Structure 1
Amino acid sequence: MSGFKLMVQGTTSDAGKSVMVAGLCRVLARRGIKVAPFKPQNMALNSAVTAEGGEIGRAQAVQAQACGLSPSVLMNPVLLKPNTDTGAQVILRGRALTDMDAREYHLNKPRLLQMVLETFEELGQGREARLVEGAGSPAEINLREHDIANMGFAEAADCPVVIVADIDRGGVFAHLYGTFELLSDSEKARVKGFIINRFRGDPSLLDSGLAWLEQKTGVPVLGVVPYLRGLYLEAEDAINVQQTDEDARFRVVVPGLPRISNHTDFDALRLHPKVDLTFVRPGGDLPPADLIILPGSKSTRGDLQALRDQGWDRQIARHLRFGGKLIGICGGYQMLGRRIEDPQGIEGAPGGSDGLGYLDMTTVLTGDKRLTRVQGTLTLAGERASVTGYEIHAGRSQVNAAQPFLLAGEADGAIDADGQVIGGYLHGLFDEPQACNLLLRWAGLEAQHAQGQDMTTLREQGLDRLADCLEQHLDLERLFADLKGWQA
């Protein structure tokens, strides 16, 4: 396989693999090097719609932005979207194939590896570099056989590897040394460096530990990356902890459904200085709020039942009686209707469920998933705002005698007769400042405070800040020594 290639693996989930690949992609792109991101196998409920109308992990969409590219299905050929604790929807090159349990999927990995390698080769055509993100940890012994996500891919693609560890978690030397020692001899030989991520304090205090690690493994430490406070990059799957201003008085609550998907919808609210955004975990009560938002879901009927089991349906009804506002997005929108039918068993056993009944509509789940980017006009309370986002959903909703609130070639969404409940399929509803401002004003935030975040600008600023940091703290000369035309 031609061209420069490098794989970033991690000692644990959330060690910084996604962030490191995004930052290094921006480093190369700023020097005019044609680079693209790749992740052989991703397991996440946060996904993005590509230009081809396919579905990939959201982290790869952010990495594509770092490269100045439009997201492509070539960047993430295998996406797993969990729908139970032991099973997931399998998406190959952007299209949903089937549901598999963990054992069945494991047996199919050898067949998938060839497709992954072919996709990696196709991605490299016309490009000088490809940066690859691993998944989880390469030291998960039970997953080593038929691995396509970490060292199994690296060996098959003959790809050099760096391993990143998060020192903020503690035990960083044990993580790195233990991970390295659990690799085979051939795998160890392709590890060209370690990176320590999210360090707070004086890095000279690590000197003795770094010397010990290099002496024990023979692998250089390529750098210690500091903890970047306030850095915004979309999370691959874990829900970001909200960051709020002490003066924030406008309260938004999101029920943390068991199969919540695309929670990055709420990043613009999480970062809004006048919004106090709270994700409520199962077992907790919904606190008093100005606005409740029902999020997307990978298992709408199952999450609707979980919502009822938590008593959240009664708490939502009380919220509305006290004048609060309610929004449903995608699966949350389907829950707001009168009925959800699943005659084909798309999400589980065939059957149907009563919805919450706030919107006069019925949804039928179907096997043909809608994947599309959307540009349109949001209409609410006599005002209009442009909006850009995407749809990822199974099923179609029949709305009866309700006012749509989104116009994008065709009408989407619905507003109840009292103007208190709205819902629609659009993800990214709050990402554009004009639309976010309109929604917050509708929900009750004073106009002078409803100043939404420009999420595209925030992502760009975050990527540039990250690239600046990596240029300062990593030995890029050593890291990119084999990249033709590289100059630090």
Structure 2
Amino acid sequence: MSRALMIQGTGSNVGKSMLVAGLCRAARRRGLSVAPFKPQNMSNNAAVTADGGEIGRAQALQAVAAGLPRHTDMNPVLLKPETDTGAQVIVQGRRLTTVRARDYARLKPQLLEKVLESFQRLKAAHDLVLVEGAGSPAEVNLRAGDIANMGFARAADVPVVLAGDIDRGGVIAQIVGTQAVIDPEDAALIGGFIVNRFRGDPTLFADGYRLIEAHTGWRGFGVCPWFDGAWRLPAEDALDLRGGRGEGLHIVCLRLSRIANFDDLDPLAAEPGVRLTMLGPGQALPGDTDVAIIPGTKSTGGDLAYLRAQGWDVDLAAHARRGGHVLGICGGYQMLGSEVADPHGVEGAPGADPGLGLLDVSTTMSADKRLTEVRATHAATGLPFDGYEIHMGMTDGPDRARPFGYVDGEPEGAVSADGRIAGSYLHGMFTDDAFRASWLAGFGVTSEAGYGAGVEATLDALADHLEAHLDVDGMLALAR
């Protein structure tokens, strides 16, 4: 009989995604067919699925941990912020609409049916479904119509383990306070708690742990120390982006305000011969930059204005004049051209904005979104690699005569006449070890990291970590 268990958190970014990934791997090693599930996610870092849709990157990583191909049922509602007050709503992998935050509350009750439909399909196909909440059940002002936490748990009758983050401080208040403010019927679904991200000797928190048990009546499933290998796994939140730990080739990525699919950079950050810098607002492009990367974005026009506001357009032009290299990926590729036109107002008010002018191409935005996994060939080296496309708009112009690569025999992307400026719609290219090694070799860097194997090894280490510090068997026994 299929069972399910939900990990909720006392707040955002308390480690829920990592806990679910580790538990997926632990359950898989027990011989269970396990699938991850997140009813509602908010992230611009999406992954293309085998069934031609998109889900949050955390669920893509959890699918790897579970040994499954990515599927849209794993994250039936994905919110992709386009502005500070509005987001694109993706339902079962496809764009439904774009709404303002104040209007989304009225839409949520209509989405619960789709959420439960996806959940039931996963539950019917697997022994165990491990569910990740979003934000916190303590956000009781959002409880009406909730589909992300207790609203889903109650509708699907899924037991909950609540995770608190001691690294933030106040974990006793986080957990006890959650019980104090939520509805008693919601609290009855919580079967226990985890104290996550402890630094130091966990026995020093013994009194606090017992105090939580006494005040809540909930069972404690353990104190989990900080997992040092977390940086080796793809981050979903742009706030978690950090530079690499290597030295050598200096790659600088612009941290755009709506940066999307930034896991493109993870394989580069893992390379010992690469120094990756994530350039924040107000920071100038370093003079020793070898390669500047303009990443994907959820709003090309908005982030083009943001880029100019930081003075990065001037920095990139000077970098190019000095003979530096620039790579634009997806929205970054669109920015490299002479113009980004949006005649139908897909991203905002209809109009056109001048691009950076580093490539002789121009882009016209359209409402049609291309979502597909691809097998591409790099034009310069002839090397094949796997990637994916997830974008709106079409780009064309004279520099397309020098493509970055080929997909199904058709040219893709563009390269400048001197070969130093390149743009491509292809995400995920650096995940391919052979392609990444060849690309880095062009800069005199020897690749030393097997990225996919490293992710697998880190997921195994994460499962070992949870097994050593938490009552994993007890949590899985709670599932129903």
- Whether 2:461 is the aligned partner of 1:459: answer no
Aligned to 1:413: 413
State the 1:169 CA deviation: 1.8
**If the length of structure 2 is used for normalisation, what is the TM-score?**
0.96
Secondary structure, counterpart of 2:431 in structure 1: coil
Change (3 A) 1:163 1:483: closer
Letter matched to residue 205 of structure 1: L
Deviation, structure 1 residue 399: 3.2
Paired residue type of 1:472: A
Structure 1 residue 136 corresponds to structure 2 residue 132:
no
Question: Is the contact between residue 433 and residue 452 of structure 1 (CA under 8 Å) also seen in structure 2?
Answer: no
- The residue that corresponds to 2:316 in the other structure is 316
- Equivalent pair of 1:414/1:422 in contact (CA under 8 Å): yes
Matching of residue 110 in structure 1 with residue 109 in structure 2: yes
**Residue 35 and residue 268 in structure 1: after superposition, are their counterparts in 2 closer, same or farther (change >3 A)?**
same
Aligned to 1:480: 476
Please list, as runs of the form range in 1=range in 2, the aligned pairs for 1:286-305 lying within 5 A after superposition.
Answer: 286-288=285-287, 289-305=289-305
Unaligned runs of 5+ in 2: none
Q: Counterparts of 1:374 and 1:170 in 2: how far apart (Å)? A: 45
1:226-305 maps to which residues of 2 (within 5 A)?
A: 226-231=225-230, 232-238=232-238, 239-245=240-246, 248-288=247-287, 289-305=289-305
Shift of 1:455: 2.1
Query: Which residue of 2 is the match for residue 470 of structure 1?
Result: 466
Deviation at 1:273, TM superposition (A): 1.0
SS at match of 1:146: coil
The reply on whether 1:85 has 2:84 as its aligned counterpart is yes
Distance 2:479 2:91 in 1: 30
Equivalent residue letter for 2:158? C
Aligned counterpart, 1:403: 402
Give the match's secondary structure for 2:228: coil
| Equivalent-residue separation in structure 2 for 1:36 and 1:249 (angstroms) | 40
Between stretches 53-62 and 429-438, larger displacement belongs to: 429-438
Q: Aligned AA for 1:299?
A: S
Instruction: Give the equivalent residue in structure 2 for 1:158.
Output: 157
| AA of the residue aligned to 1:376 | A
Deviations 1:191-235 (A, max 9, x none): 111111121211111111111110010011101112121332211
Task: State the SS of the aligned residue for 1:316.
Answer: helix
Structure 2 residue 177 is the aligned partner of structure 1 residue 181: no
Give the superposition deviation at 1:300: 0.1
C-alpha separation between the residues in 1 aligned to 2:168 and 2:273? 30
- Rounded to whole Å, the distance in 2 between the matches of 1:218 and 1:483 is 19
Gaps spanning 5+ residues in structure 1: where?
Answer: none
Q: 1:342: Cα distance to partner?
A: 0.9
Q: Distance in 2 between matches of 1:435 and 1:180?
A: 51
Residue in structure 1 matched with residue 370 of structure 2 by the alignment: 370
Counterpart of 2:79, as a letter, is L
Query: 3-state DSSP class of the match of 2:52?
Result: coil
Question: Are 1:59 and 1:236, in contact at CA under 8 Å, matched by a contact in 2?
Answer: yes
CA distance in 2, matches of 1:56, 1:356: 31
Q: Hey, what does 1:15 align to over in structure 2?
A: 14
Distance across 2 between alignment mates of 1:471 and 1:267: 26
Amino acid at match of 2:458: G
Change (3 A) 1:367 1:60: same
The whole-number CA distance in structure 2 between the counterparts of 1:287 and 1:421 is 18
Deviation at 1:390, TM superposition (A): 0.8
CA distance in 2, matches of 1:330, 1:477: 44
Output the CA distance in 2 between the equivalents of 1:176 and 1:130.
24
Match in the other structure for 2:435: 435
CA contact (8 A) 2:158 2:479 kept: no
User: By how many angstroms is 1:452 displaced?
Assistant: 5.2
Q: What amino acid is aligned across from residue 67 of structure 2 in structure 1? A: G
8 Å contact from structure 1 (residues 432, 452) kept in 2? no
Residue pair 1:244, 1:274 contacting (<8 A) in 2 also: no
Cα RMSD of the aligned pairs, angstroms, is: 1.4
Q: Tell me the SS of whatever aligns to 1:348.
A: coil
Contact 2:53–2:93 (CA under 8 A) maintained in structure 1: yes
Q: How many residues align?
A: 475
Letter in 2 for 1:240: L
- 1:181-220 matched pairs, under 5 angstroms: 181-220=180-219
Moved more, 85-94 or 316-325: 316-325
Distance 1:393 1:124 in 2: 31
TM-score by length of 1: 0.95
